[in-house]
Amino acid sequence: MSARPDRTPLPRSFFDRPVLTVAPDLLGRTLVRRTAEGALELRITEVEAYEGEADPGSHAYRGRTPRNASMFGPPGHAYVYFIYGMWFSLNLVCGPPDHASGVLIRAGEITLGAELARKRRLSARSDRELAKGPARLATALDIDRSLDGADLCDGPDSPLSLLTGTPTNPDLVSSGPRTGVGGAGADHPYRFWITHDPTVSPYRAHAPRRRST
């Protein structure tokens, strides 16, 4: 029988490391989301790393804006953004302040609170699809811009926190290009996932958005 996931909260020092070190180390960790309706927990199975102002694929590539300000804050905070006018995405800020690196949480397995997630993800055909992709994950966990800047190291009073969980054996981690990222950052192998896990989202290459005429 496998050991139960470790419930120890991860310290800020976990996040205060290079983003390409933190990203694969997030796989298998437990993300806790506390809501008025109850708590949900997610085993992280897929992530993407972004290196801030050095990374053409990052929101911080051209510097600080009101939208991305949380990326420049201390490590261990959330950066939540709205994309295409439809979806929210959750990122975890890494590295020293002002470095603006972060990890997008792309997918995971809901291990607690699935009944709450199902109410928000009525189109999911099975529980493995509840958080299969960053927009689905944010919807399932009721994540929106109100959580931008939330401190994951603030203890049980925080709406978001990260527990040690069951770190994934590096031999079971795959990596490859980021999904949907174009330009100079397209080929960076900054996407990490648990090999063959059924909750991992499918890879999609970047498709330029067509302007209407």
Q: CA 89, CA 58: separation in Å to the nearest integer? A: 13
Q: CA 22, CA 200: separation in Å to the nearest integer? A: 18
For the chain, percent of residues with pLDDT exceeding 70? 91
Q: Which two tokens stand for residue 35?
A: 């809501």
Question: Do 126 and 193 contact (CB within 8 A), yes or no?
Answer: no
Q: Which residue type, as a one-letter code, is found at position 80?
A: V
pLDDT for the residue 207: 60
What is the per-residue pLDDT across 136-157, written as a single tens digit (0 to 9) for each? 999 999 999 999 999 999 998 8
Fold of 6-194: 3-methyladenine DNA Glycosylase; Chain A (3.10.300)
What is the per-residue pLDDT across 91-133, written as a single tens digit (0 to 9) for each? 999 988 888 899 999 999 999 999 999 999 999 999 999 999 9
Domain positions in the chain: 6-194
How high does pLDDT run on average in the chain?
90
Beta-carbon contacts of residue 153 (< 8 Å; ≥ 6 apart): 9, 10, 11, 12, 15, 76, 161
Tell me the C-alpha to C-alpha distance, in Å, between residue 183 and each of 55, 66, 103, 158, 170: 11, 24, 19, 37, 29
What is the per-residue pLDDT across 177-212, written as a single tens digit (0 to 9) for each? 988 676 555 678 999 999 999 999 988 775 655 554
pLDDT for the residue 1: 45
